[in-house]
Structure formats: C-alpha cells, structure tokens
Chain A
Amino acid sequence: MKAEQQLTFRQGCIEGSPIFVGYFPTAMAFGLVCRDLGLRIWEAVLFSVTNFAGSGQFLAASLIRSGSILLEIFISVLLVNLRYSFMGAELSRKLEKGIGGIARVLLAHGTTDEVFSVAVLHRLPITKPYLAGLELTAYLGWVSGTAVGFLVGMVLPSALQMAVGVTLYAMFSSLLAQEFRQKGLNVLIIALISASLNSFLILVLKWGVGYSFVLSMLTASFLGAWFITEEEYRA
C-alpha cells in the first residue's frame, strides 16, 4: 500500500474537477428536460442520484415521455449503458486488491465515460481513495447541475416553455455532432441507419417506441461492426 500513495483522495478530487465543470451544464439540460416532463424537483434529483449516467438518463426520460412500458425502458437503458461493463472490466483490473462490499458497489456506481478515461491513464494501481475522490467530484457536478437546471426551468417565461421540448433533441444532436468530429463519417452512417429504421418502424409499421428503439440500435451496431473493420473506435 505504501508505494502507491501518490494516488490520494485529494488527487482524485483535483482530476475530477474538469469533469465537474463538464457535467454541470449537461446536467442542467437534464434538469430542464425533467421539468418539461412534469417531474418534481426531488424526482429529477433522485433520477441523477440513482442513475448517474448522461445518455442513459436522457434516453429514459425520452422513453417515459413517449409512454413506453417498463421492460422497454429496462432493455433500452441496459443496452445504452452496456459500455460501462467494459470500462468496469478494465478499471477493476487496475484497481488495488481487496476492495469489497459497499465500497465496491459505490465505486462501481461511479463508473462513467469521463471518470474511466481519466482513471485509466494512471500506470499505478488505482487506489480506493483516489477513485472515490474522482467519482465523488464528478457525481456532485452531475447531481447539483440537475437541481440548478430544474430551478432555472421554473423561472423561464411561459412562452419559452413550449420551446423547451426541443432540449432532448438538441442534446442528442450535439452529442452526435461531437462524435462525428472526433470519429469521422462512420458515426453519421451508423446514426443514419438507426434513425431511418426507427422512423420506418414507428411511422409505417406503428411499432412501440421502446422496442423500435432497441431493434434499430442493435441493427445499426451490428451493421457498423461489420463495415468498420479497423480498430477505429475506442468506446
């Protein structure tokens, strides 16, 4: 244990602060979405406290809005967040030994894309205090941002409220644009396939939103994995 003292709780908090800054406005957008959905503030905050997953929460909110059944929500969120399993697998290999019980559960709950990409940069074994500091800082940004966003939504003029319905779509299209910039044209092709299939299933075949979402997402992923052969993607 002595040799790895560089990775302290404090170090984790310091490295987590840029994540805090990044999460806060995104979580504010989520708070706005929740208000638009008709949630109360404690429900919005509970959402972020128990889920702590950007795209998963936006997806769940979108499915709740469309009146999806619970099984559709469960499967869709599970699939969108499946990447955390792979991140966790890599993190758990680098984590110091002997962390169990509640500590392990809490550390697992804090796995996010950003936390992962910061933590795995270390060559030292990742310590419990370090990871706790990193995750806690990110977590506070996400949860507090949700509450602040919700409160901002409460003081928006009522004429603006109608327009807030576009928030979810603005969020997803911004994510898509940023993925496109970082990873290239394949991103757009995959999104185009899944968007077209989903529109067809819903508008023409009158499928439910949840199952249509799952089928479209899986189909586009498999097609993507088939036509992208190189190791172009790091999740």
Chain B
Amino acid sequence: MNTQLPFIIPILVSALATFLVRILPYYVTFLDRLPPFLSRSLRLLPIAALGPLIFPGVIVDFPNRWYAGLVAVMVSSLIAYRRNGMIIPILSSILVTYLLLL
C-alpha cells in the first residue's frame, strides 16, 4: 500500500475507463475497419489478462504457506473445468486455503 486514497476514486477511475470503451462505438465507426491482426489481438486481451491476474500474486500473497493459494486455484480450476458456474469452485478454494493455513 502506498498512498491510501479513498476507495471511491479508483472505483470511479475504473468506471470511467469502462464507460469510455462502451460509449465509443456509438460515436465512431473506425472499429469496423481495423486490420485483422490488430482486431484479433484485441479480442485476445481478456484471455491474456488472466495469466498476470493469477501469477505471481497467488504465490506471493501467502508468504507463510506459499503453496496454499496454488493448491486452491488448482482445485477451483479443476471444478470449473468440469462444470459451469463460479460459486462452487470459489467456495471450494476458500475451504482448501482455510485448511492449508490452519
């Protein structure tokens, strides 16, 4: 934690970024004419985002038991791979982490 801003500021900054990309296509048309390589890259962004959202955070966030988070996400991935929905994988991983941190 560096400077501790009131939470409302980053929340609104995030909202602004989200709103801009949503309203943009209603006012411009160049989005339909992007080169194929570029538009393919842009469509891959959400997938490419998932890797850095998990690593290295999942390991460094649990300094006492570095493997706790890792085991937990392996459990949630396995469950999520087999069935739709998020809540069971998430609850299972919380339980696993809890047991590993005991």
* A contact residues vs B (CB 8 Å cutoff): 22, 25-26, 28-29, 37-40, 43, 46-47, 50-53, 55-60, 62-64, 66-67, 69-70, 73-75, 77-89, 91-92, 104-105, 108-109, 111, 159-160, 162-181, 183, 187, 190-199, 202-203, 212-213, 216-222, 224-226, 228, 233-235
B80 with A174: CB separation less than 8 A: yes
A-B contacts at CB below 8 angstroms, number: 298
Give the residue among A63, A73, A77, A174 with the most B Cβ atoms within 10 A. Answer: A174
A116→B47 CA distance, assembly (Å) = 18
B57 with A203: CB separation less than 8 A: no
Tell me how many residues of B have a C-beta within 8 Å of chain A.
76
| With A88-B25, A194-B48: A225-B80 Cβ-Cβ less than 8 Å | no
A180→B89 CA distance, assembly (Å) = 15
| B2, B12, B56, B81: the one within 8 Å of A50 (CB) | B12
Q: Which residues of A contact B19 (CB under 8 A)?
A: 108-109
| A46, A104, A169, A224: the one within 8 Å of B8 (CB) | A46
B18 with A77: CB separation less than 8 A: yes
A165→B60 CA distance, assembly (Å) = 12
Q: Which residues of B contact A219 (CB under 8 A)?
A: 48
* B contact residues vs A (CB 8 Å cutoff): 1-3, 5, 7-26, 29, 31-32, 37-58, 60-62, 68-69, 72-74, 76-81, 84-87, 89-90, 92-95, 97-98, 101
A85 with B21: CB separation less than 8 A: yes
CB distance from B35 to the nearest CB of A (A): 10
A195 with B77: CB separation less than 8 A: no
Interface of A is mostly: helix
A170 with B55: CB separation less than 8 A: no
| A43, A198, A233: the one within 8 Å of B52 (CB) | A198
B86 with A26: CB separation less than 8 A: yes
Give the residue among B3, B26, B78 with the most A Cβ atoms within 10 A. Answer: B26
Q: Which residues of A contact B42 (CB under 8 A)?
A: 82-83, 86, 221
Q: Which residues of B contact A220 (CB under 8 A)?
A: 44, 48, 51
CB distance from B14 to the nearest CB of A (A): 4
A111 with B14: CB separation less than 8 A: no
Give the residue among B9, B20, B95 with the most A Cβ atoms within 10 A. Answer: B20
